[in-house]
Amino acid sequence: MMVGLLSGCGQSEPSPGTSASAAPQAASLEPAKSGKATVQFWHSLGGKNGEYMDALIKRFNDSHPNIEVVGTFQGSYDETVTKLQQSIPSNTAPDVAMLERAYIELFADADVLEDLTPMMKSSNLSKDEFVAGLMGHSTFNNKLVALPLNRSTPILHVNKSMLDAKGLAVPKTWDELKKVSNALVVKEGNEVKQFGLTMPYDTWYPIAMITQAGGTFFSNDMKTIGFYDNGVGQKVFGYLKDLQGSGALFYPPAKDSGNIVNQMFTSGKVAMMYQSTGSIGGLTSAVKFDYVTAFLPMDKAYANPTGGANVSMLSSSKNKDAAWEFIRWMETDPQGALPFILQSGYLPFTKSMAESKELKDLWAKEPNRKVAFDQLQYAVDTNKSVVWPEVMKEFNSFIEATMYDGKDIQSSLDTFKKQAERILTK
């Protein structure tokens, strides 16, 4: 049954700047050193972020002589999920795993994640100590099955120099965004040389706009989608297609879309970009212009989904006390995840972390990152479902039909609605 429950995983919702870029490695199953409890920890951070995670693990091991955490990079979020699917039936699962937050429901529904509630109580910890906007995927059936770790949201990145040259203000609404985006288009003949707006190929940004326009991804009864009968889907994609048609919106090829739009932004070929908060650090070091961030523009309301990964304990762990000590230390100790957050650019996930002198000093130096945290007050995830990974595949097909193939929005919505209902009512 567990294999069946976990075999439906598709690709996770991408969180640009958060998933790993290096090649996946095999699972590490190093034997415990004499007298030490070994905690196997699988994660999805490569490159610089992987180095920051290695440093976090070393800090823990150096300060806990009776516990050794063995951290193993398992590839991207999706690759980590696939390996977990394989490891659980074969009893080779790790003690602790980093899970992209949209997959938490799937594994929790299969009853393979430990309820952390008793451990929180024994450590005198409360869920109230965590930033509410990042806790949406932490509970399942009244069980606390995950805690936030490397988390991000989409945000508006702005080449303010480009806007200032035209006397334009940073847009706060969809109407303002359309006007500013169109005002910044530069054409030579029929060829667009400068675009007003771009965003990666991703479900993240349309989901944000659906919520901003008053819809939800899933209906309240979880039997269908929540942006069909109310006209929100037509409104969102009609808006995007209008911008695309005027040359104001550059919608990139699906492959490597995040890097493509980042390069266009840093090279001054586009003025504004919807992209992850996780991109702020890299963009800051690459741009030669006045770069600012802002909330995603509102329609009826401000709203933004969250992304990135949480950390969970596997129910099969044979070292639960040691595994919990690692999670507790990582989540709440000043030497735990705080240095990792400062280094990587991910969002602070506890209130004490957000109020720390180290983070306040960083925000004073880099106010763009404070904007990302402030936007969390409008965080909402309406695509939370056990079947989200499967529905996401169909939603991607809808996006491709609309944004790439020029198919009729309403007829494509009809098709997507039917596919989503088929999955939701299985």
Looking at residue 35, its pLDDT comes to 77
The superfamily (CATH) of domain 154-304+382-424 is Periplasmic binding protein-like II (3.40.190.10)
Residue 27 has pLDDT above 70, yes or no: no
Query: pLDDT per residue over 173-194, tens digit each?
Result: 999 999 999 999 999 988 999 9
Q: What average pLDDT does the structure give for the chain?
A: 91
Q: Give me the pLDDT at residue 34, please.
A: 57
pLDDT computed for residue 248 by the predictor: 98
pLDDT of residue 323: 98
pLDDT in tens, 37-92: 999 999 999 988 999 999 999 999 999 999 999 999 999 998 999 999 999 999 99
Lowest mean pLDDT among 45-49, 239-243, 358-362: 45-49
268-323 tens-digit pLDDT: 999 999 999 888 888 998 999 999 999 999 999 999 999 999 999 999 999 999 99
- Ranges for all domains in the chain classified under CATH 3.40.190.10: 2-152+307-355, 154-304+382-424
Phi and psi, residue 407, nearest 5°: -70, 155
Task: For residue range 374-422, list pLDDT tens digits in order.
Answer: 999 999 999 999 999 899 999 999 999 999 999 999 999 999 999 999 9
CATH code given to domain 2-152+307-355: 3.40.190.10
